[in-house]
Chain A
Amino acid sequence: MIFIRGIGKTTLHALSGIGRVFLFIANILANLLTRPFYFKELGHSLINIGYFSLPVVGLTTFFTGGALALQIFAGGARFNAEAVVPQIVAIGLVRELGPVLVGLMIAARVTSSIAAEIATMKVTEQLNALKTLSTNPIKYLVIPRVLAAIIVLPILVSIGNIIGIFGGYIVSTRALDFNWISYLQSTVSFLELSDITSSLIKASAFGGIASLMGCYFGIHSGQGARGVGEATRSSVEAAAIFILVANFVLTGALF
């Protein structure tokens, strides 16, 4: 009985949480197209989320591409299909691992920092101070961050895809005796436009989710250092889970 009640309570809690997230999105949309626009804040966010994430994205995708090549080679060898390494590395990265891994790294790096920053501002009354200075926190803090992530993630993921394929290429040509020209040729001729668009659409969606969760949990943070900690943790959890769910849904839709 207590067990069932617990499940019910958790479910209700989650549902009302999702409802609040939708209200939050509605609030963002209502403020999106009306003046003032904070272009300078948008520029800051683009640099913070995009440029400064490059090292993390590059390292993640490079090593994943390399490991992927090794795994596919080992798996392929079981039915004499070692030659498919370039194709599978390319499609696996572009359609799936590139956007998902970059999305998760952004959740770790960007969602957490947005949540902690905005939550600290809330706890120290800087959000209230913004309001009393005639500045809407949604317009000034949330919209630039969410837009920046939606804009910049496709670029990050494209770069990540290229670096990941390069990682696979290095491993295949140095360790697995692939011919470098034919490796590149197979990669390029195999990939279709739909692979790339699906990668970019996912990237934008994951960027939106990551920054939205950071902002949402920051704005709704509880009091004190504990509130900030809780907001940060919840934001990363929610961003990671929603990114994986969205990945599943989008993969189905863009199949």
Chain B
Amino acid sequence: MIVLEGVKKSFGKKKILTGVNLKINEGSSLVIIGRSGTGKSVLIKCILALENYDEGTIHINKIENSNKNNKTFYDQFGMLFQGGALFDSIPIWENISFRLLRGNQKISRSDAKQLASEKLKLVGLNSDIIDLYPSELSGGMQKRVALARAIAGDPKVIFFDEPTTGLDPIMANVINRLIREIVVEMGVTAITITHDINSTRIIADDVAMLDSGKVQWKGEINHLDNSGNKMVDQFINGLATGPISNNY
């Protein structure tokens, strides 16, 4: 279980998070929605201790995440970065099996290559690209390779920062279903950021809406359409006017 209490984060004078409270149950799928620039990416980087936060606490299975001396902290996580963040100096297959080529979970290079091509198939890519370098792929392909890297090694908690942006609608659907499948079949805890309401409906057990630095609404997916929250209504219907601030 991941528990955030009163998390605040500013960059200089700019307040991004102003007191986020959030609980994520083990084995559930949470989708975080919110307008561009509200701090969704910053929020999950705080959870992963990639950004320092100014106030509040974040506990993962009762252990505070700022305890950086814990060498195995990241073994439990997978993360798909919004920009992919593939290592451009190594080929696709080494990117995907990066964690498995070194460290505690080390496997042989031939097994790692095998695993890379299996994960590639899951994200709808042909395994004949495994020896290429990231820069030789299209943007959407890179994103899917990054997704394959995030799920390789079967982490218990996976963060997906906008997994379907830049993908065509058919491929987006494949990825949404893949994420859902990982949660249901492998009991993974998934935290997904998306702007896409359609994706949200497929992926989510729970939905949290972030705005003005706080979680404005959190509830089960089947309450999304009758949340009683004006911000959520505005967001899911894409209305230009409403309570959501326009300052992003």
Q: A residues bordering B, Cβ < 8 Å?
A: 36, 38, 117, 121, 124-126, 128-135
Q: Interface on chain B toward A: helix, strand, loop, or mixed SS? A: loop
Which 10 pairs show the lowest CB-CB distances between chains A and B? A125-B85, A129-B85, A132-B79, A134-B74, A133-B99, A128-B50, A125-B81, A133-B98, A126-B85, A134-B75
B83 near A124: Cβ-Cβ < 8 Å: yes
In the complex, what residues of A have CB within 8 A of residue B87's CB?
Answer: 121, 126, 129-130
Within 8 A of A (CB), among B61-77: 71-72, 74-75, 77
B50 near A131: Cβ-Cβ < 8 Å: yes
In the complex, what residues of B have CB within 8 A of residue A134's CB?
Answer: 71-72, 74-75, 99, 103-104
Within 8 A of A (CB), among B84-104: 85-89, 98-99, 102-104
Q: B residues bordering A, Cβ < 8 Å?
A: 45, 48, 50, 71-72, 74-75, 77-79, 81, 83, 85-89, 98-99, 102-104, 149
A135 near B103: Cβ-Cβ < 8 Å: yes
In the complex, what residues of A have CB within 8 A of residue B89's CB?
Answer: 117
CB distance from A225 to the nearest CB of B (A): 14
CB distance from B160 to the nearest CB of A (A): 12
B74 near A128: Cβ-Cβ < 8 Å: no
A133 near B74: Cβ-Cβ < 8 Å: yes
In the complex, what residues of A have CB within 8 A of residue B88's CB?
Answer: 124, 126
In the complex, what residues of A have CB within 8 A of residue B81's CB?
Answer: 125, 128-129
Give Cα distance in the complex from A126 to B89, angstroms.
11
In the complex, what residues of B have CB within 8 A of residue A124's CB?
Answer: 83, 85, 88
A132 near B83: Cβ-Cβ < 8 Å: no
A132 near B103: Cβ-Cβ < 8 Å: no
B152's closest neighbor in chain A, by CB?
A: A133
In the complex, what residues of B have CB within 8 A of residue A117's CB?
Answer: 89
Give Cα distance in the complex from A117 to B89, angstroms.
10
A125's closest neighbor in chain B, by CB?
A: B85
